[in-house]
Amino acid sequence: MDRKEITAIVFMADGMEMCECLLTVDILRRAGIRVITASVMEERTVTASHQVRIEADVLANDADYEKADILILPGGRVGTENLATSELVTGQCVRFAGDGSRYVAAICAAPSVLSGTGILDGRRATCHPDFAEKVQAGSSISAGDADISPLVTLTHESVTVDGNIITGQGLGATMDFALCITEILAGKETADRIAAATCYRYR
């Protein structure tokens, strides 16, 4: 990335997978990336999928998207549903996906949010196996066309990068997901350094 300060916005919602969110935040902050957690709910405090309450930095409506380099969507079935119903989230994801200099990342169930907007149409992606059919269907789900051939090539990899879209398979892939984002934004040397410091074997 060319800008001096790299900024990531991580969306938070009730029912999100806590570890997918916070581990990604942790790794990116270790890399020196400015991370803003943004609640899509009506208050900054969200309740994660296992009833852990977490306070976001800002409400999503108040985040400064013009200064952000990447949007990140954690998974969790209910959390993903809350993200998908947010016009701000889907609108900003479509905008970032169309900007070749910025990125969108989603893990576990959350790639289905991108898929429903058409962002993943014609791309390669991964997701939690329970959401494979929905992700593969791409924008045909929102169009109500159940008979269309798969629009998304599902890789079943831990992490898949296609252009400026990064997708992760699930909770167990979160370290790879976070380090992949780190490598893209801050360089492989930084990703390798963090992997070594946390005793993690990164590719």
Give catalytic residues, as residue numbers: 108
CA distances from 151 to 59, 136, 137, 162, 203 (A): 33, 6, 6, 14, 29
Say which residues have a Cβ less than 8 Å from residue 66's Cβ, sequence separation at least 6: none
Spatial contact of 19 and 33, defined as CB atoms under 8 Å apart: no
For residue 34, the cross-strand partners are 7
Of 94, 98, 99, which Cα lies nearest the Cα of 117?
94
